[in-house]
Structure formats: structure tokens, C-alpha cells
Structure 1
Amino acid sequence: MHITRPGRRFGARIAIAGAIALSLTLSGCAATSGPASTPTSSATQPTLTFAGPNGEKPDALSALSLTADEIAKVKAGNFTAAFVWHTSSDFVTAVEKGAREEFEKLGIKVVASTQAGFNAATQANNVQTVLALHPSIVVGIAVDPTSAAKAFQPVVDSGTKLVIMTTPPAGYKAGKDFVSIVTEDLSKAGKANADIIGKEMKGEGEVGYLSYNANFWFTNQRDQAFKDWLGYSYPKMQIVDSEGFADETATQTIAAAMIAKHPNMKAIYVSWATAAQGVVAAIRAAGRTDIKVVTNDLDTTLAAAMVGNGPVAGLVGNGSLGIGQGLALAGAFGVLNKPAPALVASDPTSVTGDNLKDAWKADYGSDLPASVGK
């Protein structure tokens, strides 16, 4: 999941979270290089767990279960819900679709959906607009965690149940200020990336690693999980160059240098999809038909580059519908005053050329765009 700037994609894109987008917008700086990394294989199996922004340990979506009596109480409560998003995107649309479907099953009426265009002041205004409708539940994600602490405080003070997608306001605690965080399972996403490229390369060869170089809990852990699982599951594969970027528009230049420096490199991992578009452009500009890319988030441009043995080996979706379902169920926990897990994770979706159409539908709940050409 990466949260992109307006006019470009997350996922979502988790998109990644609003904090990433804000960091990219404010930094305005070129990518920086990290030291080359050549990890040896590990005999110890990596963990399939991760930690939330405040050290929360994740539970599966199945932990958000309601009894028949609890569902009946929610349906009888005439509860309402509103969305306070950071931006609009295909990922957000898919998450909201999953949430709306679950809210409908629970008899909870959605009264508003707002998006802030990655503007913290706009989001603060949206909070006030939504609260005027007196919703029982607010589903939100902070554009900027620091300013969001003040912006979302009226939600907390009003007794409205706040549910968070990925990025909470700074200082907010689960069970006190909000019900739960719902996000993607980062360790499973990293493993899925490693498995896609490992199988594509038949377990051997040189790999490039291009990651987001700022301190952000979500992306950092997903990137590290890829490295850990690649080293464990595919010991004959070696990361020969590890580079960082702060601005996703710089990835083409960085990837071009990596390709020139390592003529035997046959794969590149990138933190998220819109950043990977520049890597695909660099591969094509170099005339290299033997280098494959793997990355996170569903993206129509990269999906098209997967068709016909193109340069993209696969994508890892965020489990978008599942995230939406989890947000709605967490909201129901809130109005019931039922203790909820602090952090809940949706399973990611591995997408390759073999399952592109079905996997896209499973993750986004919509048909593969005709522009992809499959």
C-alpha cells in the first residue's frame, strides 16, 4: 500500500499512507543511494508478524467477528458512518467499496465520504463537516499524523467511534482514542514479492533493490520482509545493489544507473507501483527484455506491462476489499463498546500474468480495466 499524491495511484497507492505522500511532497529532493547489499542466505525462517506505528501486534481479519446477537444489536441501533480520506484513488475506492458492503450488511448507513487531496487543512475542515452530520463512526487516515492529532480530536471528544486505516494521528492510542487500525499484512506482502520474483528467476540470479529511504513504519517493514524472505527462500539469489529514493519521480534515473552497473542483474524490487513505473521505463530504455520488476499495489500501467511477457513479473495487492471490510467491522465493535484488536491486517493478493484478471477482481472488486489489454 502506498498513498500517492493527487492524480497518481496508492493503495491505495498503502498507496501507502498519508505520511509517505506528505514526505514526498515536502522533501522535493532527489533519490539518494544506499550501500550495495549482498545478503547471504539465512537458515532461520523470517517472522510472519510485524508491528504497528506504536508497536501494536497484528491480528487477522477473522479476529473482528460478531455474534448473531451483536449483529442484531448493531442493526437495531440506527448507526451511521462517514469516511474522512486523505485522497481519492482506485485503492481508496476499493477500500470504501468493501466497507460500504459490510456497513450495509450491518444496517449502518453511510452519510458522507470526503477526501482531502493530501491537504492537512482540507482534512481538518472535512472532519468538521462530517461531524455536523453526527455520525456514529468515522473511518479515517491521517494526511499528516502531527496536524491530524488536533484535527481528529473533536471526533474523540464527541464520543464518535474513530477507526483508522494504516496511519493514526500522532499520539493516539487504540482502545482509547480510536477503535483499531486496519491495514495490509506487511510481512506476507514482502514474502509474496519474494516468491513472485524467486519463481520468475527459478531461484537464481542477481537482484536490484530500490526502496523508500525515509523512516515510515509501513513501507520500511514491508521492504525488509522482502529482503528477509528472499534470502531465506531463495539462497542462490543475491541483492547486488541496494538504492534508496525520496522522490518517486527519480526512480528511472536510479534504475538506469543500476542496470548499467550490473549487466547480469535480472530483477528489481521497488517499494510501490508508481515508483516502479520509472524502473520499467529505464528497463525499456536500456533495451533489456531480460529484467523483471516486482512491486506492491495494483496499477493499470504496470498491469499492462505484465501482459505479453513484459518487464513486470508481478504485483502484490493490498487486500483492499478486506481492509474495507475490517474497517466497517471495527466500527461495529466501537458502537458496541466491544474491545477490538489494536491492529488488524488484511492478507495481500499476489498478482501475476497467470491470474491477473481474477486477482484484480478479488482485490479491487472490479473488472480489470480494458486498457490493460488482457
Structure 2
Amino acid sequence: MSFLKHTSLAAMALGAILGATPVAAQSAAEALEQLAGQVLSTGPNGEAPTAASEISLSEADLEAIRAMNATAAIVLHYGGNDWSQAQVNGLRHQFEIMGIEVIAVTDAGFSAATQMSDIETIMAQNPSIIVSIPTDPVATASAYRMAAERGVELVFMDNVPAGLTAGEDYVSVVSADNYGNGVASAHLMAQALGEEGGEIGIVYHAADFFVTRQRYDAFRATIEENYPNIEIVAEQGIGGPDFIGDAERVASAMMISNRGIDGIWAVWDVPAEGVIAAARAAGRDDLIITTIDLGENVAIDMARGGYIHGLGAQRPFEQGVTEAILAGYGLLDREAPAYVALPALPVMQDNLLDAWEEVYSTEAPATVVGSMQ
């Protein structure tokens, strides 16, 4: 399905969720407040979301799981960012409570072939559980199906392999509200631009990746449906793996081709770092950037009052905890919801330190705290 078709569907979904009163009739700040506690995303197959707060294990459940001496492997698409590390931390924390040994954590470096090899290697250790995010939902599907057929309890982060069915091949998928975070980052952009609006660019993820597509759909639809004074004048996809370098080159080209551009949205924090680098090189101290994911480098920039006006944050530590609990559902042969989601968290400088603690379940690092203006 094309980006434009997704955007059209996303706009319809957003309108249905927010009701008959257009967001444009509100301020951006009011629209951001309206997001609190909501989940706007649907699952990879259109599933309605179940709140993560509804997923739990009793003490009797924990005792039963501890007696199983189960093992788990965490198979990442990419491990080199704060989001991935927080996911692993949340998983390890909850698995320890459940008496489950983590026998492997792998990083595929965004390579589907590497991830398939990782799964084959892990299967030689006979894990009870695999928690994973597919690098490519089509290319990796056969490896995950093989694991499912051998009785491994599969729980997915954000996306699912093509052709696998919840409740049969895997337990559940857990995600942040990526659509909601896209909405939040659009309202934050509008808030920064003010009533006069302006021209903006979009740096999206040029891959068949469910969660990043939802972010793009939501940002674009929210701007187009609610802020007629903001014009999207340029958009370009990046494929990685050098997301910082790719985003820097794309953003530089946008600023050259559109001298009046006022802001650029980046699909997550790592490409946003590339946009920051491009703005610095161009001497564009006035450029406004919004994004998704509370990484340390964008947090430092925000703390300093730099380019990052605001962002929509995921809750990766809590997501990891929820994934581990759902793995317990699989071990207990308990029915689980197909799609579980956590609400978006709009972040600006004034709530940055509190948001960091909510996202990572730890205090903000000294690099961020020391940068606060």
C-alpha cells in the first residue's frame, strides 16, 4: 500500500477518533492534552488496542512460571539506540522477577539476513521464549515460523512477520502508540510555528516498517487536516543503515531547495540528529525540528533550548516489561490480546526530566540534566 493511501486512511481514522469537532478549532496545546491516556494506533492487522495496564500475572502465576526453568532470547532489529536498550532493560527486569534466564540478546544491524541467522543460532539453544522485532516482516517470516513450529513462545515488539497469526503462531505484539506519537509531533510542530504557520519538510523511513509508517501517516494527516497555514513543501525517505548521514543529506537538500523552510520533522530521534547537523552546517539556528523517541542526544538539544522543540515519546522500558509478562501468558497457555499498546507521551523542555524517568524508569543522565537551561 502506498504512503498516500495510508495517509488517506490515517486521516479518516484520526477524524473518527477525535469526533466531529476539528482539532483546528483548538489550540495545539489543547490537542496535546486531549491525547493523554488515549491510544490512536491499531495493530499490524488492524487489531483494536488493549491497554498494557490490563496485562498482569498473579503471584500464583509467577510461582508456576518459576518452576518451569524457562529461558528467553531477545532478537533485536537494531541494538544501537536508547530505545532498544530500554526495551532490553525492561525485559531483563521482568524476566528476573519471573525466574526466566535470558540466554541471548542479538543485534541484526537492520539486516534481515543477519536476523535470520541470529534466530537459527538461538534455536540451537532451545529457548522457551523469543521476544523480537522483525527487521523485514516478509524476509524473516520463515525463520519465525520455524521457531513457532518448534514450540517457542513468540512475542513481538511493534511489528509481526508476514503470514503469522496471533494466538496460533505467536502470543501477542506490544507497541507504543506510534500513530498517537505522530499526532503529538505534528501538534508540537504547529505550536512552535504559531498562528502564522510556515513551510515544513518531512524525513520519513523508506521501508515497509509498520510503526514508522504509522508515524508518517499520523504526522502528515494531522498537519493537512488541522493546520491549513502549514504547508508541506518537501518530503524524502531514508533507508539507512546510516540514518544520521542520510537524514543530514536529505535535510540539507531540503533547505537548499526551499530557502523559506521553517521546520523539518524526522521519523525518529536518530535521523533527527542528522537534521540538527544539517541545520548547524547551514547556519539555520531558527529551524524547528520535531520527532519521535526520547534519545539522549535529542534530549540534550531540547534541554539546551536548541532545535528540537518537542517530540512524542515511547515508553520502551514499560513495553519490555509488558512483553515479558505476555511471554508468561504463552508459557501458561493463557489467551492473550493480539495487540497491546502504551499511550503516547508528548515531551517538551518543561517536562523533559519527568518524561525521561517515565520513559526509562530511571533518572535523566547528567548530560541531560546539566544541559537544562
Normalised by the length of structure 1, the TM-score is 0.79
**Partner residue in 1 for 2:248:** 252
1:274 is the counterpart of 2:270: yes
**Partner residue in 2 for 1:285:** 281
Within 5 Å, give how 1:82-161 maps onto structure 2.
82-89=73-80, 90-161=82-153
Q: Tell me, yes or no, if the aligned pair for 1:317 and 1:350 is still in contact at 8 Å.
A: yes
Gaps of 5+ in 2: 18-38
**Partner residue in 2 for 1:325:** 321
Structure 1 residue 294 displacement after superposition: 0.3
**Partner residue in 1 for 2:27:** none
Structure 1 residue 94 displacement after superposition: 0.6
Within 5 Å, give how 1:158-307 maps onto structure 2.
158-210=150-202, 211-231=204-224, 235=227, 237-247=229-239, 248=243, 249-260=245-256, 262-307=258-303
Change (3 A) 1:287 1:217: same
Q: Tell me, yes or no, if the aligned pair for 2:79 and 2:85 is still in contact at 8 Å.
A: yes
Q: Secondary structure at the match of 1:163?
A: strand
2:354 paired residue among 351, 354, 358: 358
**Partner residue in 1 for 2:53:** 62
Q: Tell me, yes or no, if the aligned pair for 1:138 and 1:161 is still in contact at 8 Å.
A: yes
Change (3 A) 1:132 1:99: same
Q: Tell me, yes or no, if the aligned pair for 2:311 and 2:347 is still in contact at 8 Å.
A: yes
Q: Describe the superposition over 1:301-331 as per-residue Cα deviations: whole angstroms up to 9, x where unpaired.
A: 3223223321111232221112101210110
| Larger deviation, residues 353-362 vs 96-105 | 353-362
Q: Describe the superposition over 1:271-324 as per-residue Cα deviations: whole angstroms up to 9, x where unpaired.
A: 122222232223223333322100112233322322332111123222111210
Distance of 2:74 and 2:56 partners within structure 1: 22
Higher-RCO chain (CA-CA 8 Å, sequence separation at least 6): 1
Change (3 A) 1:137 1:215: closer
Q: Describe the superposition over 1:104-126 as per-residue Cα deviations: whole angstroms up to 9, x where unpaired.
A: 22333323323333343443343
Distance of 2:272 and 2:299 partners within structure 1: 12
**Partner residue in 2 for 1:30:** none
Distance of 1:235 and 1:121 partners within structure 2: 42
Q: Secondary structure at the match of 1:154?
A: helix
**Partner residue in 1 for 2:333:** 337
Change (3 A) 1:228 1:107: same
Q: Tell me, yes or no, if the aligned pair for 1:205 and 1:265 is still in contact at 8 Å.
A: no
Alignment-mate amino acid for residue 217 of structure 1: F
Within 5 Å, give how 1:13-92 maps onto structure 2.
45=15, 47=17, 49-89=40-80, 90-92=82-84
Distance of 2:344 and 2:175 partners within structure 1: 10
Q: Tell me, yes or no, if the aligned pair for 2:201 and 2:254 is still in contact at 8 Å.
A: no
Q: Secondary structure at the match of 1:145?
A: coil
Higher share in helix: 2
Q: Tell me, yes or no, if the aligned pair for 2:89 and 2:317 is still in contact at 8 Å.
A: yes
Q: Tell me, yes or no, if the aligned pair for 1:230 and 1:237 is still in contact at 8 Å.
A: no
Alignment-mate amino acid for residue 177 of structure 1: D
Q: Describe the superposition over 1:233-256 as per-residue Cα deviations: whole angstroms up to 9, x where unpaired.
A: x53641241312234434334433
Distance of 1:214 and 1:118 partners within structure 2: 11
Distance of 1:187 and 1:86 partners within structure 2: 21
Structure 1 residue 174 displacement after superposition: 1.0
Report the count of equivalent residues.
334
Among the aligned pairs, what percent are the same residue?
Answer: 35
Distance of 2:113 and 2:207 partners within structure 1: 23
Q: Tell me, yes or no, if the aligned pair for 2:159 and 2:210 is still in contact at 8 Å.
A: no
Structure 1 residue 85 displacement after superposition: 2.0
Distance of 2:197 and 2:259 partners within structure 1: 12
Alignment-mate amino acid for residue 170 of structure 2: F
Structure 1 residue 356 displacement after superposition: 2.3
Structure 1 residue 67 displacement after superposition: 4.1
Distance of 1:132 and 1:250 partners within structure 2: 37
Q: Tell me, yes or no, if the aligned pair for 1:203 and 1:236 is still in contact at 8 Å.
A: no
Change (3 A) 1:49 1:351: closer
Structure 1 residue 128 displacement after superposition: 3.4
Gaps of 5+ in 1: 1-33
Root mean square deviation of aligned Cα = 2.9
Alignment-mate amino acid for residue 49 of structure 1: L
Q: Describe the superposition over 1:39-60 as per-residue Cα deviations: whole angstroms up to 9, x where unpaired.
A: xx99x84535333333333222
Normalised by the length of structure 2, the TM-score is 0.79
| Larger deviation, residues 222-231 vs 157-166 | 222-231
Structure 1 residue 193 displacement after superposition: 0.8
Q: Tell me, yes or no, if the aligned pair for 1:204 and 1:236 is still in contact at 8 Å.
A: no
